[in-house]
Amino acid sequence: MAEAQTISEIKVTDFAQRWTEQPVGLQLLDVREEQELAIAALEGFQNVPLSQFQDWSAALPTQLDPHAETYVLCHHGMRSAQMCHWLVQQGFTQVHNIAGGIDAYSSLVDPSIPRY
């Protein structure tokens, strides 16, 4: 049985600071559905809905830099954690789950982002 991997988590406040300080070179992935993005989204994130895994899973690892800082977002942090585990299995080395997702980001960083 394979040992469970520990995924790096980053608080939304720490992510916001990191994103403000050096946004260039960061890979930003949002695994939520299109209808969720219509309600609340962060600019600069590439949408790769987890429900459409079959559609993008073969191509995504070749489209991204496996050694770049990669941050993954969802609504609360569960789907993004799944994505982080998958990215690590694909050889990505700097993967970070944004803990609490866009809901926490809206509460703690930018209240202008609608909550749902």
Query: Which residues carry out catalysis?
Result: 74
CA distances (Å), origin 23, targets 26, 27, 50, 58, 68: 6, 9, 24, 26, 12
Q: Tell me whether residue 47 is exposed, middle or buried, using C-beta atoms within 10 angstroms of its C-beta: 0 to 12, 13 to 18, 19 or more.
A: middle
Q: How many CA atoms lie within 13 A of 74 on its CB side?
A: 19
CA 67 distance to own-chain centroid: 15
